[in-house]
Structure 1
Amino acid sequence: MEPPKKSGPPRRSGPGGPRRPTGTQTAPGSRPARPPFRKAKPASAKAANPHPARAAAAASGKNEPQRIAKLLARAGVASRREIERMIEEGRITLNGEAVTTPATLLASLHGVAVDGTPVAAPAPTRLFLFHKPTGFLTTERDPRGRPTIYDKLPADLPRVMPIGRLDMTTEGLLLLTTDGEFKRQMELPSTGVPRTYRARAFGEVSQNQLEDLFDGLEIDGIRYGRIEANLERRTGRNQWIEMTLTEGKNREVRRVLEHLGLQVNRLIRTSYGPFHLGELASGAVEEVRQHDLIVFRKSLGKAS
């Protein structure tokens, strides 16, 4: 087995040169940026007549009503799923009365409180790149007392939520955001945001076997979509494999490679969408410029 390197992910060798720096360049194998989203014209009388509450809000110039769970997630209170649990526990109130359903429609968060504390209006979405080291869980707390990414993050960082997860033994790029709704959008398989990994695996595999992953495969009843995989280099029976996928199912890279008879002994996420790990040091955090974040969100069909 190749001895582990002292720090940071290995650089790609060959005519391509070193990996690109952190920024908003297009990841290898990713799709071109989509054109800005444009609302389609109503196809029927039903489509032309919106919900009465929304129509009234539009006529009065007020914000369009949205579900309280979505508004609270957008404000960075928690993820939408966590907010739904908080509503069930009676922790969220509106003008002093407990909210009973996450489907409650509101035009703003005025009068909304969580555990008795009023919720502030949502600030602009922020996005951070974090080079997650191995040995840390992607969770806020662990019942068994194991270290989490929050033990490693700088104390002056605002309240952030991870976009997706990395296993405890997986390192590399982890996106962190202040916006729960943006987090949810990024994680949806239907959004199709590509993630790229580099895996060091022990065993034998051919490029032809890796190219077969392009059509997807099924393992133990779970269907995995298209994966672009390339054999980068081989040292003895260890090889570095680059894989780009868009679904991000639980332990997808490891399970697919194990299905091919390989044993993964190091796994690094190098990019998520147009955001790259680059030379970001292990444990370091870097904020994405607002301009780059806005451009990216527009490419997803949703301006910030």
Structure 2
Amino acid sequence: MSPEAGREAADDGVRLQKLMAAAGVASRRVSENMIEAGRVQVNGEVVTELGRRVQETDLVSVDGVAIQLDTSRRYLMLNKPVGIVSSLQDDRGRPDLQRFVSRYDERLFNVGRLDAQTSGLLILTNDGELAHVLAHPSFGVLKTYIAKVEGRVSPQTIGRLTAGVDLEDGPIAADKARIIGQAGASETVVEITLHSGRNRIVRRMLEAVGHPVIDLVRRQFGPLHLGTLAPGEIRDLTKAELGALLTISRDATSAGADTDATEAD
């Protein structure tokens, strides 16, 4: 934040258009146009006056999409490779996430977990509220996985996955499942979408229906797609991606879902 903005913040906040520009939403002039056009909301109320002052903690959205005014927050997407444990400091000395986050000044942590043999999309951030919403199954944020499994999966088996299978820690059903194709004579590629956060749940579901997993990749987490990000690569979320995540987080928080869960697929 600039010295001028800092002086304003010490008073009664910073002008909305200034914080929007500092957050990278648009230039100050364009931000002013957005405000005057009634496209900006602060804490759920449409704001049209240019003199409105806000704090970084106020909830601001443009065209219904949330924006982050607090520039100290960081949001990253990692394509976690196989063999990396989802920990910032593994107490058993195994390869962990520290190698990917050591270049950043912020103290980052992973949102949920992927087991060491599962690769794919992992979010890293220093935003605890967002992390809680994304990781907790009660908020219903969907994750999509691509699994190569042993055997030829039948449509009837897909039906079992979506109807529900019984595991040692209780029944579980996929939100969606489909066959993508065959990988040779005795292997099948399937796509599974679910919001559960139970430990190794995708592997255990597929094993329960007779198709042990050979390879597992998380391709999607809520509105985020892995895209062409290569294994081991990490990048900041785009403004559009971050806006989608923040909107989910704020909507879910206002709905008042319950708390406390972990995830490890």
Shared fold by TM > 0.5? Answer: yes
> Which AA in structure 2 matches 1:289?
T
TM-score if structure 1 supplies the norm length? 0.56
Task: Indicate the residue corresponding to 1:137 in structure 2.
Answer: 85
CA deviation after TM superposition for structure 1 residue 209, in Å: 1.3
Task: Indicate the residue corresponding to 1:78 in structure 2.
Answer: none
Structure number with the bigger relative contact order (C-alpha 8 A, sep ≥ 6) is 1
- For structure 2, the residue ranges without an aligned partner over 5 or more in a row are 1-40, 45-53, 58-69, 254-265
Q: Which runs of 4+ in 1 moved over 6 A?
A: 61-64
Match of 2:160 among 178, 192, 212: 212
Task: Indicate the residue corresponding to 1:280 in structure 2.
Answer: 229
CA distance in 1: counterparts of 2:205 and 2:241, whole angstroms: 33
CA distance in 1: counterparts of 2:89 and 2:161, whole angstroms: 35
Match of 1:252 among 198, 201, 212: 201
Match of 1:269 among 211, 218, 228: 218
What RMSD, in angstroms, separates the aligned Cα atoms of the two structures? 2.7
CA-to-aligned-CA distance 1:180-232 (integer Å, 9 cap, x gap):
22111111111101100001111232122112322333211423244311111
Task: Indicate the residue corresponding to 1:172 in structure 2.
Answer: 120
Task: Indicate the residue corresponding to 1:239 in structure 2.
Answer: 188
Asked if residue 146 in structure 1 is aligned to residue 94 in structure 2, the reply is yes
CA distance in 1: counterparts of 2:161 and 2:209, whole angstroms: 10
- Compared with structure 1, are the counterparts of its residues 244 and 63 closer, same or farther at alpha carbon in structure 2 (3 Å cutoff)? closer
Q: Is contact 1:133-1:282 (8 Å) kept?
A: yes
Task: Percent identity, please.
Answer: 32
Q: Is contact 1:153-1:283 (8 Å) kept?
A: no
Question: Which protein has the bigger helix share?
Answer: 2
- Compared with structure 1, are the counterparts of its residues 295 and 278 closer, same or farther at alpha carbon in structure 2 (3 Å cutoff)? closer
Task: Indicate the residue corresponding to 2:144 in structure 1.
Answer: 196
Q: Is contact 2:174-2:192 (8 Å) kept?
A: no
TM-score if structure 2 supplies the norm length? 0.64
Q: Is contact 2:111-2:125 (8 Å) kept?
A: yes
- Compared with structure 1, are the counterparts of its residues 161 and 275 closer, same or farther at alpha carbon in structure 2 (3 Å cutoff)? same
- For structure 1, the residue ranges without an aligned partner over 5 or more in a row are 1-35, 40-60, 65-121
